[in-house]
């Protein structure tokens, strides 16, 4: 499995996950990879996750709370506004543009090269996706009829 993160500077980072990604592995990934990467690149940031069961697990919510991560609430079933979905498509198009990879080692190498290619050739595309996020999120909120949460 490949886990990926898109940063607001237009760069993509990925991490190979051995086996199935469960909530414990995800917390370890956040703790030892994602959060340090974000802290290295940004003073203040919002972290975005979709509503995958791994992301919403109790242990993950507890880690997020203890780490004081600013996690943006994400509407359910909204892949059309998730920048990472665009990146997965770009990645897939590059990785599978020729013959199918004959083994895992070659697949991993192709993914690594694809990430490099995206970071070099598609960075402006990703930056434009970031530039449109406020408009896309506002459209989603307005289309639901109430942009303010009742308390």
C-alpha dist (Å) from residue 118 to 40, 49, 64, 104: 21, 21, 29, 21
Q: Specify the length of the chain in residues.
A: 151
pLDDT of residue 87: 94
Residues 6+ apart with CB under 8 A from 85: 79
Q: Residues 123-139: what's their mean pLDDT?
A: 88
pLDDT exceeds cutoff 70 at 93: yes
Choice between 148 and 20, residue whose per-residue pLDDT is larger:
20
Residue listed under structure tokens 């802290």: 39
Residue 19 pLDDT greater than 80, yes or no: yes
- Give the separation between CA 138 and CA 141, rounded to whole angstroms: 5
Q: How many Cβ atoms sit within 10 Å of the Cβ of residue 104?
A: 9
DSSP 31-82: IIIIHHHHHHH-SS--EE----TTTTSHHHHHHHHHHT--EEP--TT-GGG-
């Amino acid at each position: 499995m490949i886990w990926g993160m898109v940063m607001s500077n237009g760069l993509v980072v990925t991490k190979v996950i051995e086996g199935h990604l469960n909530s414990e592995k995800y917390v370890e990934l956040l703790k030892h990879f994602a959060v340090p990467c974000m802290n290295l690149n940004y003073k203040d940031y919002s972290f975005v996750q979709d509503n995958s069961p791994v992301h919403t697990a109790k242990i993950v919510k507890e880690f997020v709370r203890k780490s004081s991560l600013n996690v943006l609430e994400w509407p359910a079933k909204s892949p059309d506004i998730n920048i990472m979905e665009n990146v997965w498509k770009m990645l897939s198009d590059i990785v599978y543009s020729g013959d199918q990879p004959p083994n895992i080692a070659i697949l991993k190498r192709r993914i690594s090269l694809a990430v490099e290619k995206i970071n070099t050739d598609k960075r402006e595309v990703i930056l434009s996706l970031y530039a449109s996020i406020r408009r896309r999120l506002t459209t989603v909120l307005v289309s639901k009829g109430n942009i303010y949460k009742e308390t």
